[in-house]
Each structure stands twice: as structure tokens, then as C-alpha cells.
Amino acid sequence: MDEDMLRCVTEQGFAARTLPLSLYVRAHAEVLVPAADAGERLDLRAADIPLLDVAVAADRRGALRQLVERAAVLRILRSGHGPLRDSLPDSGGDAGADARDGSPPAVGVGDGHDEAVARAIYQELARRRAESGIEKGTLITGRDQAGGPSGVALRGVDGRIDCYLLGETAGVPAVGAVLRLDRLERPLCAVVCDLWERRGVERAVQAVLREFVVTTLPRRDDTDRAPFPYGDFHDVVAVGETDFETLAPRPPRDETGELRDRVRLHGHRASVRVLGPADRTALVACRLEPTAKSEPTATSEPSAGSESEPVRRPTTDTQDDWRPRDVAALGLRAPRQLSLTYERDDVRIGRVYHENSKMRTAYGTLPVVDIAEMSPPARRLLGQAYRDFGHARRQYPMRPAGQPRLLTLDQVVRRRRSWAAMGDGELTRAELAHLLTLSYGTTGAAVAGQDLRLPLRATPSAGGLYSSDLFVLVDRVSGVEPGLYYFHPGKRLLQLVDDERTLAEVAEYTGYRERAGEAAAMVVYVGAFRRNQWKYRERGYRTVLLDCGHLAQSVVTTATSLGLVAHPMIAFVDDYFNAYVGVDGVEDAVLYLTLLGPRRTGDEAA
């Protein structure tokens, strides 16, 4: 599980965070950060978060697996010995920082010891292959350029990823990937080693995408770009072609055993140290050392580009001379939006809801609704999507006489500003009537079945069910006494609901008390979930919110066309407003507010 890999990262003194990727990168990315930057936070200063490394894979677990390995390498490089080195048994050899060739050991993590050792050996072989120089390879054809072997690649970009077989290293096939994009200064390259060449193609694509992601990250201005970590073989010459489908369809049955045999036949032995086994995760460091006889056997003929001798790097005398291959060495920092985020638990319920409100192709996702089979009373209910406060002691007709003078659509779009200055005058009853009828009044009818005409309104609604209700808190509207009213769209009436609280009192329960106090009226949108969810079930919650958004935009647009100021607002105390309107907050709930006021004189051009 992902938690196992996360624990392996944190036990080494680091943290992992998800890196947002552009939509044209079909992959998942995680970044390694210091433990102090583990917590997701809302940082309005957009402070830098240092990136220690980046991992790219098909899914989160694959990326976290890579981070575990790179965290272990960083730990070795920085401390001079591996985590838990003194408390865990040695399985042979010395994989610590006192390496004779000056390079850090390769690190592998897996669900078991053998898998971890195999991954570590593969990484060590890939490093040697890249350093030995690459000039030619066999082009792999027949693979999906857009999706890659596991859907990991780029889409909709001007370029391509080519994969090559690059011979063998210690008897193990090497696979390289070259990403060529017209807008990149130079192609990007990556090389991996893997007994299973199909998986090698997948890993090579992931590795070269990692390099591409690194190039998209912002750089620190005071640092120079470090040398390219995978060597430079973008001019590799294709000496032949092989179809992807001809590669072995599955890995060897005893992969680790065969890997050790091939390495041994080519004059190397694997020296392994256990670093940190967890419940189901093994973490090991590995170094390949030459045996007494390092020449390959006669039965194992090296292929083009293979190495028969281990590549040695100059021995270093001090730990400070070692340079980890991480993003910090490349002079990069986190993108700004990485700190503007949240804890996963803060949005878990929303994510669960979204998943359970998706429409599926499977049968039975939503109930089948056939209006023709509904009883006449049920069909009539569909056309009565409103409340009725018919016994209210005050009612005001909202049937405006004549045509209002409206701004053009172009003027409305350019003039609309939520924070436009409001004047201290009144709205007219005619302005409010035009606003309500043009936003949510009945504008026509549709035939549904042989005996039903459904009213249509100025605002769209899922299934024509009109799951939003409009309430208006009046403060300064000529011809209308202050109070909370319900707008009955069928009768076109304002019906009194409550007149005991003033707008100034209600404004105290909003996030912008002074701004709300400037308004002449406040529109309160109430979602009627039952009116919608009998048909759409869990997905109905989405449609109620969408209906409310459509209606709010109609109110804002109409108000602006009338020369008024309309300020949408979501900052309010839910329980207070639900109790004020008279709904329970469960079956029906206040969703949104819009402040209304006259535009301040002299501000017409704002």
C-alpha cells in the first residue's frame, strides 16, 4: 500500500509530497522534501519548498517506491552510513559510504528481499551503462507513442519518445529512451537495465519523463544547471529495428537468481546490506564488486555496447566530494502552487462523494425515469418546483410593467465587478421585479407526455426540476417593507417569510460584514435536494450545486444589465442562515448569497 512506502520515506528523515503535473504529462509525480516541509499548508507568501528529488511513475505507489530508494541514497551520502546500519544485520560486504570507487551504492526497495536486491542491481548496471558511453542501439517500434506501455507518456505535444535496445551490461539488457521536443534546447535521455525488456521500456519512459518534469520546474536564479545525470546519447545511431511485440512477454521465473548468475558470469558479485525492512517492504543497498576473474565467459558473448569490465570512477577521499543526483543539485525549487494545498484528510469526504456520484456504464447507476408511466398527480408535481408561503401577511406582485432599459451584453460583461462601489440609495420595486422575473421567472412551457406542460424558466436546471429557491432579504427597496421574502416563480410574488431581523443583523454572520451592510438587498439561494435526488441519487448533489451556480450567474448578469451592483458571496455561517430561512440544512440548505445595491453615482464606467 502507499502507506508502506510513505513510512519508508519518513523513517529516513524525509517527506514525500505530490507534485501537480501539466495535463499533457500522463503520469504521477512525487517529490522528496525535508521533513520540515511535510505538512501541507496554505502559505500565502508562496515560500520556496526545497526539492531533494523527483520521481515519476504510472501511479503514486510507483513514484513513492522511487522516492524511497532516492531518500536512502541521500541518507547515505549525507551521513556516511545507511539508516539503521548499526542495528540491522549485515548480509555481506560493505554498502556504506566508504566505497572504494567514490560513488554511492545503488538502493532498491521491494515487497521482498529478492525484489529489492534486483532493483538495486538494475540501478547500478544502468549507471555503469550510461557512463560507458552510448553510440548505437536497436530502435524499438510498434509501441504506442501517445500512451506508452502503461499509459505513461506525453500527449498533444510536438515531439516523440524513442526507445532503444542498447546492448547488455554484465549480461543484462539495457533500454534507453530519448525524448525529442522541438521547443527543448536538447533531447532528454534515460537508460535502465532490466532482464524483462518490456518492463525496461516502461521504466525508461518513466525515467525520461522524470527528466522532462525536472526541466519544467522553476530554477533558483543563483545556481547553475548540473551536468546531465544520464549521460548524453541523444544522437544514438539506430543500427536496426525490433517490434515491441517481439520482446519477451514476461520476466524470467526466477528473476533474482538469473540476475545474480548473469552478473557473476560477467565477473561481478553483488555486495548487499539490509537498510530498513518494514512490515511488507524490504530496503537494501547494493554494490557490484569485481571478482578475481572479471572477464566474461566464452558462452556469454557480449553484445554491441556491453561492458566487460566494471567502470571505475576516481576514488574520493572525503564525503563532501560526493554529489547526489537529486534535484537540489540541479538548482530547482518547488512550483509555487505546491504550498497552496491541503491535508488529504481535509478533503477525503469530498473525494469519496465525488467518486460515488459518478455516472457509470454499469446497469442500475441511476433509476430509469419514464414520465409517461408516472401517475397524473406525480406528473403534475414535476411542474410545481417551488414553495408557497400563501398565507404570508405581506405579498408583493413582481410583474413589472413595460420593458426595462438594459445594457448590451458586451457592456454587461465588461462592466460586471463584484466589488464595484455601491451607493446608499434604494433599489426600486420595478428593478427588483425585473431582476427576479428575468432571472428565475417562467418564460415558456414544454410538453411532457400527453397531458403535462412543464414550465420553463430563464435559467437552466437538471431535468427541469429547478432545485433552487430564491429568497430576498430586503433592506432598501422602494415600495417593499424590509424583511425576508420568498420569490414564488409561478405566481410572481414576493411572500413574506420573516421581518424580525434586519440586514445589518444578518450581515454579522457573513465573512464581509461591512460589505454586506452596504447592500440594499441580499439574495439567498436555497438548494432543495429532495426535489432533485429522487431522480439523480448521489449525483443529484452535483446537479443541485450546478443549478444554483446557473441561477446565481443569471442574477448577476441581469442585475448588471439593469445598472445595479451584484456581489456573489459564499462566506456565511451555514447554520445561522439555514435557521433564519427555516430549513434544516440537510434536506434543504442555504448554498449561496448575492448582495444587491445601486451603483454609486459617478461609477458608471467602473
131 pLDDT tier (thresholds 50, 70, 90): confident
> Taking 70 as the threshold, does the pLDDT of residue 3 lie above it?
yes
> Taking 60 as the threshold, does the pLDDT of residue 414 lie above it?
yes
330 pLDDT tier (thresholds 50, 70, 90): low
Each residue's pLDDT tens digit, 367-394: 777 766 777 777 677 767 878 888 888 9
Give the highest mean pLDDT range of 159-163, 521-525, 584-588: 521-525
DSSP codes, 510-575: BS-HHHHHH-SEEEEEEEETHHHHHHHTTHHHHHHHHHHHHHHHHHHHHHHHTTEEEEEE--B-HH
Strands 237-243 and 136-141: parallel
89 pLDDT tier (thresholds 50, 70, 90): very low
Q: How far is CA 521 from the centre of its chain?
A: 39
Smallest Cα–Cα separation from 567: which of 592, 604, 545, 601? 592
> Taking 80 as the threshold, does the pLDDT of residue 147 lie above it?
no
From CA 482, how far away is CA 410, in angstroms rounded? 34
Q: Which three cell numbers stand for residue 13?
A: 528523515
Average pLDDT over residues 282-309: 56
Which pLDDT score, from 0 to 100, does residue 236 have?
86
> Taking 70 as the threshold, does the pLDDT of residue 404 lie above it?
yes
Q: What's the one-letter identity of residue 45?
A: R
Each residue's pLDDT tens digit, 554-580: 999 999 999 999 999 999 999 999 999
SS3 annotation, 27-38: CEEEEEEEHHHC
The torsion defined by the Cα of 196, 199, 201 and 207, in degrees rounded to 10, comes to: -120
From CA 526, how far away is CA 519, in angstroms rounded? 20
143 pLDDT tier (thresholds 50, 70, 90): confident
pTM, 2 dp: 0.72
Which pLDDT score, from 0 to 100, does residue 296 have?
42
Which pLDDT score, from 0 to 100, does residue 264 have?
92
Which pLDDT score, from 0 to 100, does residue 378 have?
74
239 touches 140 (CB < 8 A):
no
Helices 113-131 and 60-79, packing angle to 10 deg: 70
